[in-house]
Amino acid sequence: MAVFEYKGILVATGKGTQGLRDAENVKALRAQLRKDGVLLTTATEEKAQKLAEPKGFSLKRFFEHPSVADVAIMTRQLATLVKAQIPLFEALSALIEQTEKEGLRRALTNVRDAVREGTAFADALMAHPTIFPDLYVNMVRAGESSGTLDAVLLRLTSFLEGQAKLRGKVSSALAYPILMMLIATVMISVLMTSVVPKVTSIFASMHKALPWYTQCLIWFSDFASNFWWLVLLLTFGGTAWFRRWKRTVEGRLAWDRLTLRAPLFGPLVMMVAISRFTRTLATLLAAGVALLPAMAIVRNVLGNAALEKVVETAAGSIREGQSIAEPLKASGYFPPLVTHMIAIGERSGQLEEMLENVAEAYDTAVDARVQLLTSLLEPIIIVIMGGAVGFIAFSILMPLIQMSSFVE
């Protein structure tokens, strides 16, 4: 059976449509589409290399790439089909038919073809690391080996939905402050480069001594009007240098340590990392993944070099026969409550349950922290915007008032 990329016309509406479809040949494809109310116009057989995950970056590819929520929905549907004892190949074919994201559809098509050729499901998923990370692949592998693939997929779904929910909360909380900062930057830039020079030119023609704050405003305005290119050059150059430095091992470690010590956002970053660490480790252990491989996977999903180093040290201690809690406590990053609960879980044989409890507690703490930061950031940004605009207005109006009173 071949895979065709087709274009056609919807008979009911006359609108164009396109997609991927399995068929023995073009004639069979035309018959299938006719049943779905689509008139086939062109059909091209997809080659294996074309279906492979694309390399590089493009705007179209960015929008085609599935989100965590898309993968979670697909995983829940696959778990339902597998639990109903539908063969994996047929289940994947059904998912390909109803998946909307083109990137996910192409990946599933590749996975389905590999499974048809005898490749293990987990090995087929491994060819698409940007969609199915190590956590996903290792849990599927554990489910395949233990014969509990449907249960593992359901647990994976819960984990992915939790991650998508957490990411959505943080993103939505930061969206409004970031938008306000952008608006403030644009507004003040327009005032300094367009409005202020025209108004302050009046002062220059009157040859009067100006207050220090008005002189500062004129200096800033002249600098922004004449050397805006230097500001842009320094901004983009500094950003490029910072990103390059951050990609180095030393730079990333230094920046991540600084992030954890930041006054307002540091505790939030730490809470998110602890929640991700405990929930991911609990999910992997519950799926039957051994502790050391699970620690290696957890290390790669933390997103913070300082904490990754702590987990790596903990994995080495476990390899030497020590517990998980001791190196985590010695690092100074993990709070005593977390390490204490992990130690209790290790001693009682209920490590998975304790990790889940910690994750739930820190998810709640993250929600409260995000709400607190949001409530603090909004008035702070408004005060900064109002202060900047007020300074500009005060610096312009006060000399005008003084001059008018002098004339009288």
User: Helices 134-146 & 291-301, crossing angle to 10 degrees?
Assistant: 150
DSSP string, 330-345: HHS-S-HHHHHHHHHH
The Cβ of residue 330 has, within 10 Å, a number of other Cβ atoms equal to 14
Same domain, 300 and 405: yes
Res 51: pLDDT: 44
Close Cβ partners of 237 (under 8 Å, ≥ 6 residues apart): none
Same domain, 119 and 170: no
Same domain, 258 and 172: yes
Residue of 285, 288, 289, 296 whose CA lies nearest to 318: 296
Cα separations in angstroms, 329 against 282, 295, 326, 336: 19, 16, 5, 7
Q: What is the bridge-based pairing of β-strands 38-45 and 2-10? A: antiparallel
Domain count, the chain: 3
Residues 172-181: pLDDT tens digits?
A: 767 777 788 8
Residues 368-387: pLDDT tens digits?
A: 887 787 777 778 888 888 88
Residue 95 lies in a domain: yes
Residue of 32, 35, 45 whose CA lies nearest to 6: 45
Instruction: Identify the domain boundary among 113, 132, 151.
Output: 132
Residue of 345, 316, 340 whose CA lies nearest to 329: 340
Residue 144 lies in a domain: no
CA 213/CA 230 separation, integer angstroms: 24
| Claim: this prediction has a pTM higher than 0.75 | no
User: 291 burial class (0-12, 13-18, 19+ CB within 10 angstroms)?
Assistant: middle
Residue stretches of the chain with pLDDT short of 70: 1-3, 20, 22, 46-64, 170, 173, 204-208, 403-408
Res 57: pLDDT: 45
Task: List alpha helices for 52-132, DSSP H.
Answer: 59-64, 68-83, 88-98, 102-116, 121-125
CA 243/CA 42 separation, integer angstroms: 45
Domain of 23 in residue numbering reads as: 2-46
Residue 54 lies in a domain: no
Same domain, 104 and 247: no
Same domain, 288 and 185: yes
Residue 307 lies in a domain: yes
CA 349/CA 370 separation, integer angstroms: 34
